[in-house]
Structure 1
Amino acid sequence: MQANPDVHSMDAVLDKLYGEVGSPEREAFRQEAYSYCIGQLIQEARKQEKITQSELAKRVGTNKSYISKIMNGTVEPGVNLFLRIVNALGLKFDIVKPIVQM
């Protein structure tokens, strides 16, 4: 595979496609990408647990359609629902303070 000489960094590609960091277009893209990644993480954990979307929905008190939208990145669950999903999938969620290196 040959490198494209016109592409110098991923940031340059994103700048060209979605505007510079901080622009409304770039922020919208970042949010969409984040939602998609969260959905994929939930979907993979659900598959590892061998439960259906319907079963997960039942465990967390929502419906299959909403679970599907979360997994597709169409909607981002609120914190309460996200933590119920994490718990229902037997996962752990930690909030930690990052180590700052000097």
Structure 2
Amino acid sequence: MRQINPEKLAKLSTANSMLDEKYGAPGTPSREQFNEESLAWFYGNMLRERRKELNLTQKQLAEKLGREQSYIARVENGKADIQLSSFFRIAAVLGIQFIPTFVN
């Protein structure tokens, strides 16, 4: 088995240190913007994958929601600032159900 070189290990960057370097420390405006964009992309990607599982086009999904195809594209790409109610409406059409959990 190979031995880990502690000197080399100490020189490795962590994911957090790389994020700090590129986007600033947690709590800074640039880091908060990065976090918001990351979440928007994540949820948009989740909706896109489910839409594809159902073999729906963006246009078909948009028609079911009474929206434009370009709106669905922006949501899926994390470029639309949507309200929570809109997100739930899209999720419901895709058969995704959210059950609220309250933590003390």
Q: Same fold (TM over 0.5)?
A: yes
Between the aligned partners of 1:82 and 1:55, the Cα distance in structure 2 is 17
Q: Equivalent of 1:46, from 31, 44, 51?
A: 51
Q: Equivalent of 2:28, from 20, 23, 48?
A: 23
Identity of aligned residues (%): 31
1:17-67 deviation digits (Å, cap 9, x = unpaired): 011000000000000101000110000000001111011111112110000
**2:16 aligned with 1:5:** no
CA RMSD of the aligned region, Å? 1.8
Matched residue, 1:72: 77
SS at match of 2:80: coil
Between the aligned partners of 2:99 and 2:82, the Cα distance in structure 1 is 17
Give the paired residue count: 97
Question: What stretches of structure 2 of length at least 5 have no aligned partner?
Answer: 1-7
In the alignment, residue 55 of structure 1 is paired with which amino acid? Answer: Q
TM-score after normalising by structure 1? 0.87
TM-score after normalising by structure 2? 0.85
> For the structure 1 residues 51 and 5, does the alpha-carbon distance in structure 2 shift closer, same or farther, using more than 3 Å as the test?
same
Please report how far the alpha carbon of residue 4 of structure 1 lies from its aligned counterpart in structure 2 after TM superposition: 8.9
Higher-Rg structure is 2
> For the structure 1 residues 66 and 3, does the alpha-carbon distance in structure 2 shift closer, same or farther, using more than 3 Å as the test?
farther
Between the aligned partners of 1:89 and 1:4, the Cα distance in structure 2 is 46
SS at match of 2:11: coil
Between the aligned partners of 1:61 and 1:4, the Cα distance in structure 2 is 55
Map of 1:81-96 to 2, 5 A cutoff?
A: 81-96=86-101
> Would you identify which runs of 4 or more consecutive aligned residues in structure 1 move more than 6 Å?
none
8 Å CA contact 1:60, 1:81 repeated in 2: no
8 Å CA contact 1:35, 1:74 repeated in 2: yes
